[in-house]
Structure 1
Amino acid sequence: MTSATRLITILFVCFSLATKGQNSENKTKTNTEWLVANLLREKSNTTEISGNPQITNSPYGEAVAFNGKDDALFLNELPLNSLQEFTLEMIFKPDLNGVFEQRVLHIGESRESRILLEIRAVDSNWYFDVFAVSGTNKKPLASEKLIHPLGKWYHVAFVVTPNKLTSYVNGKLELQEAFTFLPITTGKTAIGVRLNKVSWFKGDIYKIRITPKEIKPDDFMPFLKDETR
């Protein structure tokens, strides 16, 4: 074997091992699923409870009610850590008489790279507002024309890929825009409010799921479909 051939062989082996390692890492990434009632009940060392959120019944099972004033859960966890793409889903019920701007789920840093699921409450309706910050890139997806009645249960999804953002309500695509996303590597999670404790959510949350890839509506979490919404 010549020196050139030997060098090519070594480079090929190194590349194969590196690719295998990356593939193995991708395969080991699993879904994060939070039944919010379980998070409240377990009261682990990684969870801080603000106010007095209450376990309540829902059509899906036990959920957690947030009062829109000081109820929230803060998790010392970063489920989006280093993910290049993901689908963030939530089953929740926004209630009447909440403030206009409500942060329902906040993952990442308080002011730097972060992902937020938010709502805007107007009279007896709400519209979905998702927000992504990646380095110096910022992008909200929201339209006050896409309204839904308050006081009902909904499934929402936010799909983030390296080049676009997409939002869904009850499995129906609402908005999509181009966006350059780089993985989030630091931060924590807040449920029911923004990490810096402003814009509290009023309503109930049943479940949150994070899938480490882009998925389509057919693969979303099961949810009750109400055609009157």
Structure 2
Amino acid sequence: MIPTTRLIALLFICFSLASKGQNAEIKKESQTTTEWLLANLLREKSNNVEISGKPQTVASPYGEAVSFNGIDDAFFLNELPLQSLEEFTVEMIFKPELKGVFEQRILHIGESTKDRMLLEIRAVDNNWYFDGYTASGTNKKALIDEKLIHPLEQWYHVAFVVTPKSRTTYVNGKQELFLEFPFLPIESGQTSIGVRMNKLCWFKGAIYKIRITPKQVQPNNFMSFIK
């Protein structure tokens, strides 16, 4: 017969191991890949999604996409897919169009002015260049180079890879910029698509899909994209 004190100790160990397993499972489940097909977001009309303006579905080489007019079209989602992530990869298939403003915020996750991540472009004449931005605590940095231009009115795949020590941007699977720079997880906020959270710097163009993966993704595993 097992002594009472030893039995209690064994039960405590078993309970502790079970709790750790449950916590690990909860953390694993919370760090799943997020995918948004923009046309589905528009159709579903979820209570978690507020639609500004009148974004429209349009045809794309990949399926139905959503067109943003660069004036008042946007989605505001009561979601924070980057919460507590120490590293992540954000990908987007989109088409920036002519007649948009110079600074365009396409995807904003986090707080309006505090910890946040943004995918942005700058439009100049008939071209654009990419900007991947993060702010965490006192660490704020934009990965941007005005010399790395691309023609407007074409479909592109962009990716922004963030780790605890670095940030990297890609356009059509080709690395553009890399910087060793510290990052701390974003813990609060929401998501906007088509504009910055405070409704400044509207995006003019179309978006087919956005994917957020809770790890560093290599280019050979990016979303399928044929230019």
Partner of 1:24: 25
**SS at structure 2 position matched to 1:181:** coil
Find the aligned partners of 1:210 and 1:18 in 2 and give their Cα distance: 28
Partner of 2:128: 126
The amino acid of 2:225's aligned partner reads F
> CA 1:58 to 1:19, structure 2 compared with 1: closer, same or farther past 3 Å?
same
Which region of structure 1 is more displaced relative to structure 2, 24-33 or 41-50?
Answer: 24-33
Find the aligned partners of 2:15 and 2:167 in 1 and give their Cα distance: 35
Per-residue deviation at 1:143?
Answer: 0.3
1:224 aligns with 2:226: yes
Q: Deviations over 1:84-129 (max 9, x none)?
A: 1110000000001111000000000000000000000010000001
Find the aligned partners of 2:26 and 2:51 in 1 and give their Cα distance: 33
Find the aligned partners of 1:177 and 1:207 in 2 and give their Cα distance: 26
Q: Between the two proteins, what is the percent identity of the paired residues? A: 66
Residue 89 of structure 1, aligned match among 59, 72, 91: 91
**SS at structure 2 position matched to 1:145:** coil
Structure 1 runs, 4 residues or longer, greater than 4 Å off: 12-23
Q: Map 1:101-140 to 2 at 5 A.
A: 101-140=103-142
Per-residue deviation at 1:24?
Answer: 3.3
Q: Deviations over 1:40-96 (max 9, x none)?
A: 111111111111100111000000000001100000111111111110000000001
Gaps of 5+ in 2: 1-9
Find the aligned partners of 1:131 and 1:59 in 2 and give their Cα distance: 28
Partner of 2:48: 46
Residue 178 of structure 1, aligned match among 168, 177, 180: 180
**SS at structure 2 position matched to 1:224:** coil
Gaps of 5+ in 1: 1-8
Taking structure 1 as the reference length, the TM-score comes to 0.89
**SS at structure 2 position matched to 1:102:** strand
1:35 aligns with 2:48: no
Residue 150 of structure 2, aligned match among 126, 140, 148: 148
Aligned positions, number: 217
Per-residue deviation at 1:27?
Answer: 3.4
Find the aligned partners of 1:154 and 1:65 in 2 and give their Cα distance: 15
Taking structure 2 as the reference length, the TM-score comes to 0.90
Partner of 1:188: 190
Partner of 2:5: none
